Structure 1
Amino acid sequence: MSIDFPHVLEHFSLFLSALINNKVVLTILVTFLTLGVKYALVKTVRNRAISKGKDKRDLVNNIKNFLNFVMLFLLLSLWAGELQTFALSIAAFAVAIVLATREFIQCMIGFFYLASTRPFRIGDWVQVGDIVGEVSETDWMKSTLLEVDIHKYEYTGKTLFIPNNAMITNTIKNLNFLKRYATHHFNITRDQSVNPYLFIDQLQQKAELYCEDFKDVAHRYSQTIERRLDVKIAGPDPHINVSTSEVGDSVVTVAIFCPTERAIEIEQKLIKDFMTMWFAAKRSGNIAPIGGTELSPDDSQPVS
């Protein structure tokens, strides 16, 4: 039994022609093809990033948004005629449709605003209104943030989804320079029964000691920030100031330029040293006025 190849080819050509002319089939093919390419590219980039120990979330996010745009463009081109006919048929309801979908339209406009101005990148720490977090992903409708406690410089475990229109109506603060190093401020408040100037120099030495191992790196990083922002920032040396509160208590303000992951650790060490010195001075009765006798080395130790 012989096979009539020309006849088979003719039927196969007719079948392909029918598939090509069937917009529903083409829509499914374009969708699956684009999603397949996106999945393969994203997986490849992530695997290479893991093997090299690099953060490629920004590249992955851009790939996703680009291929989504390509898919949408192809589908709109495929159904352009039908969409035009449909649009003309509902011209009378155009205003109602715009009003009903204005939030979605604003979100899409917000996406183009973020894509054109680039106020942040994936992985940056940003503040939008009162919300602070690390940008993990953006798409046409929303931006995804991993919430960060800016006072402790750590993740809270919460994932925030912010509509892109909020990026237009709220001020965006890029806090990316705080992600690695930050000028950490904290106050220590006590009554005026002890003069803090008696041991403030010892506390300054303690602060410099705790910052000694990263002093060179902090100095270079602060210079990098100053060059990029063209402003003078505090640091990298620790600063300690003494003031009074509204009710007359002594307030010691400490500012240290340090790695964010060590800020709370150094704060606790300095508070411990301050309390040790303060209680030692109080128990020893060494409550001299400013310019009085300084604490002896033994006075800086707790009294048993």
Structure 2
Amino acid sequence: MQLTNIFSNLALNFQLELLHTVLLIPSIVFLRWLWLRFYFYRHPNLELEFKRRAIVMSRNFSLLVGVIALAAVWATQLQHFALSMVALAAATVLATKELIMCLLGSMMRMITNQYSIGDYVEISNIRGRVVDINMFNTLVIQTGTNNQLGDLSGKTVSFPNSLLLSVPLSRDNVIGKYVVHTFEIPVPIRLDSDAIVPRLEWVLRDYCARYVLDIAQYFEEVKMQKMFVTPAADPTISRMPRDNSMYCLVVRFASPLSKRLMIQQAILDEFIRIQYLLMTNDE
């Protein structure tokens, strides 16, 4: 009789947990849909990238809440199962090590805010713009064959979030909507840098003049609010020796993220014109 009561209670508990699960999942999906509708209604002119970011964030948050809620609902059953299947649980942990590391990497990304949708990142020889993030991997649109140019190639590649636990990640726009961009120009040693640098500096300052004051003010605000060491906003061109046949011009400037490639290309175009004139005169 007592054994019958025990089995009857277990069956009743199982039915209640199953009912809670059936009600819980549609509720989370409905609440996510309702929040997105309300958010987009309150912000009708939101840009596509921010809409995409809101969709991804709400999806990941709903998934996290769902996992925690289901774990709470089925806690008793999971406890009984874990006690009776210790060996199997240990084997499962070993078999799902990579999956667990992906989840830990995802949690670390959310806690530290390492990157988000729209950021340019580089990790383990993968460089591109982040377009999707989930609990297990991150999807980026790769840059072209020349990483220095930064043009998007249209090809996508994903990397597991477990890489965040073991591999350094670089992010271009860590300061926010502005970026400090640096690139190098190799120059033959026989070309006089005094004939090149002043003209490049003139072009660089002309392009950056419209942004430099706003960027300097923004950097100062970030420095005061977040106690974050910010770089200088003024554009510079430095000269660095490389070897007996070449030296480098290191171009550094601050600009809006969307304008950095345009400014870089303007500098490169001007350098090619100057190089052609100097090499023609030498002949």
Aligned CA distance change for structure 1 residues 224 and 151 (closer, same or farther; 3 Å): farther
| Structure 1: runs of 5+ lacking an equivalent | 1-17, 288-304
Aligned counterpart for 2:96 among listed residues 94, 101, 105: 101
Aligned CA distance change for structure 1 residues 135 and 266 (closer, same or farther; 3 Å): closer
TM-score by length of 2: 0.72
- Report the alpha carbon displacement of residue 246 of structure 1 after superposing the two structures with TM: 1.4
| Cα contact 2:188–2:245 (8 A) shared by 1 | no
| Cα contact 1:126–1:175 (8 A) shared by 2 | yes
Aligned counterpart for 2:213 among listed residues 211, 216, 225: 216
CA–CA distance in structure 2, aligned partners of residues 163 and 41 of structure 1: 29
| Cα contact 2:178–2:215 (8 A) shared by 1 | no
Aligned CA distance change for structure 1 residues 188 and 36 (closer, same or farther; 3 Å): same
Aligned CA distance change for structure 1 residues 99 and 222 (closer, same or farther; 3 Å): same
Hey, what does 1:248 align to over in structure 2? 245
Hey, what does 1:156 align to over in structure 2? 153
Hey, what does 1:182 align to over in structure 2? 180
Give the SS at the match of 2:244.
Answer: coil
Give the SS at the match of 1:257.
Answer: strand
Hey, what does 2:234 align to over in structure 1? 236
TM-score by length of 1: 0.68
CA–CA distance in structure 2, aligned partners of residues 74 and 232 of structure 1: 42
Bigger shift: residues 25-34 or 163-172: 25-34
Aligned counterpart for 1:71 among listed residues 55, 66, 70: 66
Hey, what does 1:32 align to over in structure 2? 26
For residues 98-153 of structure 1, the C-alpha deviation after alignment (integer angstroms, 9 at most, x for no partner) is 21122222223333333333333444433333333444444333334444565234
Aligned counterpart for 1:129 among listed residues 121, 124, 129: 124
| Cα contact 2:129–2:140 (8 A) shared by 1 | yes
Give the SS at the match of 2:245.
Answer: coil
CA–CA distance in structure 2, aligned partners of residues 153 and 87 of structure 1: 50
Give the SS at the match of 1:204.
Answer: helix
Match of 2:87, as an amino acid? A
Match of 1:103, as an amino acid? E
Hey, what does 2:165 align to over in structure 1? 168
CA–CA distance in structure 2, aligned partners of residues 77 and 200 of structure 1: 65
Aligned counterpart for 2:86 among listed residues 82, 91, 94: 91
Percent sequence identity over matched residues?
21
Match of 1:120, as an amino acid? Y
- Report the alpha carbon displacement of residue 95 of structure 1 after superposing the two structures with TM: 2.0
| Cα contact 1:183–1:256 (8 A) shared by 2 | yes
Aligned CA distance change for structure 1 residues 184 and 24 (closer, same or farther; 3 Å): same
Hey, what does 2:4 align to over in structure 1? none
| Cα contact 1:125–1:179 (8 A) shared by 2 | no
Match of 2:66, as an amino acid? M
Aligned CA distance change for structure 1 residues 203 and 34 (closer, same or farther; 3 Å): closer
Hey, what does 1:5 align to over in structure 2? none
Aligned CA distance change for structure 1 residues 248 and 40 (closer, same or farther; 3 Å): same
- Report the alpha carbon displacement of residue 168 of structure 1 after superposing the two structures with TM: 1.3
Hey, what does 2:198 align to over in structure 1? 201
| Structure 2: runs of 5+ lacking an equivalent | 1-11
Aligned counterpart for 1:262 among listed residues 233, 252, 259: 259
CA–CA distance in structure 1, aligned partners of residues 111 and 266 of structure 2: 45
| Cα contact 2:123–2:169 (8 A) shared by 1 | yes
Answer yes or no: is 1:80 the counterpart of 2:54: no
CA–CA distance in structure 2, aligned partners of residues 148 and 50 of structure 1: 31
- Report the alpha carbon displacement of residue 187 of structure 1 after superposing the two structures with TM: 0.7
CA–CA distance in structure 2, aligned partners of residues 90 and 258 of structure 1: 58
| Cα contact 1:222–1:236 (8 A) shared by 2 | no
CA–CA distance in structure 2, aligned partners of residues 34 and 132 of structure 1: 35
Answer yes or no: is 1:117 the counterpart of 2:112: yes
* Match runs of 1:131-150 below 5 Å: 131-148=126-143
Give the SS at the match of 1:151.
Answer: coil
Give the SS at the match of 2:45.
Answer: helix
